[in-house]
A and B are shown apart, each in its own frame.
Chain A
Amino acid sequence: NAGVTQTPKFRILKIGQSMTLQCTQDMNHNYMYWYRQDPGMGLKLIYYSVGAGITDKGEVPNGYNVSRSTTEDFPLRLELAAPSQTSVYFCASSLQRGTSVSRTDTQYFGPGTRLTVL
């Protein structure tokens, strides 16, 4: 199993450009997440999905969009990139059996995408 894969690894965008960060997991996990991590800061949840066709906002959703058409894929779309979106983006997935996180619900992270907006 490859686990959680993310592409691209690095990207530089100009202000106003758009792009899609790809995330795929092959563990048949129902939950998927997008986080951003700024230097010296904790991970902030952008969006998450509890299954195909269902997404919900996290703590910092502004400027981003997501979709979940399949169990495996959870792309993150940036429209009109801004310097404030310069960050490391992590996708994660988990197999969550209940409606709330239990102590057995491990989140598996992808290697991250380093995005710079100039």
Chain B
Amino acid sequence: RKEVEQDPGPFNVPEGATVAFNCTYSNSASQSFFWYRQDCRKEPKLLMSVYSSGNEDGRFTAQLNRASQYISLLIRDSKLSDSATYLCVVNMNSGYSTLTFGKGTMLLVSP
């Protein structure tokens, strides 16, 4: 099983749509989870951390399911500016000081 697995997409949605991405991770001992955003030919930037109880930041909602080892990101009311690749990122081991990045899911929002 790959360490951090994501559907590469692309997900093509119209403006205003709601879209959800999932990500699965292989190590049940993982403790820290993030979603990063990467625009074309740019560096990754933190979108949000993922808390055990789930968390929301404006139009973005992140959920963690430890039992099934997956993380989700929900984007409501999609904007053209949301078009990007969304990277699922996991601290693979408790006590481990580095992160493992998924390959990313591409989102294309059209007018």
Show the binding face of A for B, using Cβ within 8 Å: 31, 33, 35, 40-43, 45, 48, 50, 58, 90, 96, 99-107, 109-112
Contact = CB atoms under 8 A, between A and B. Distances in A.
Interface string B81-100: 00000010001011111111
Nearest to B48: A103
Given A90-B43, A101-B97, A107-B99, 4 more contacts: A31-B97, A43-B101, A45-B99, A48-B97
B46 interface: yes
Instruction: Give the contact-size bracket for chain B.
Output: 20 to 34
Given A40-B8, A42-B87, A107-B46, A100 B99 contact: no
A107 B33 CA distance: 12
Contact of B95 (A33, A45, A50, A100): A100
Interface string B1-39: 000100010000000000000000000000111100000
Given A106-B46, A107-B46, A45 B8 contact: no
Contacts of A45: 98-99
Interface string B47-61: 001110000000000
Contacts of A101: 31-32, 91, 96-99
Contacts of B49: 103-104
B101 A42 contact: yes
Contacts of B43: 90, 109-112
A102 B31 CA distance: 7
Contacts of A102: 31-32
B98 A42 contact: no
B42 A111 contact: yes
Residue in B44, B51, B95, B102 whose Cβ sees the most chain A Cβ within 10 Å:
B44
B103 interface: yes
Residue in A43, A101, A102 whose Cβ sees the most chain B Cβ within 10 Å:
A101
A59 B50 CA distance: 24
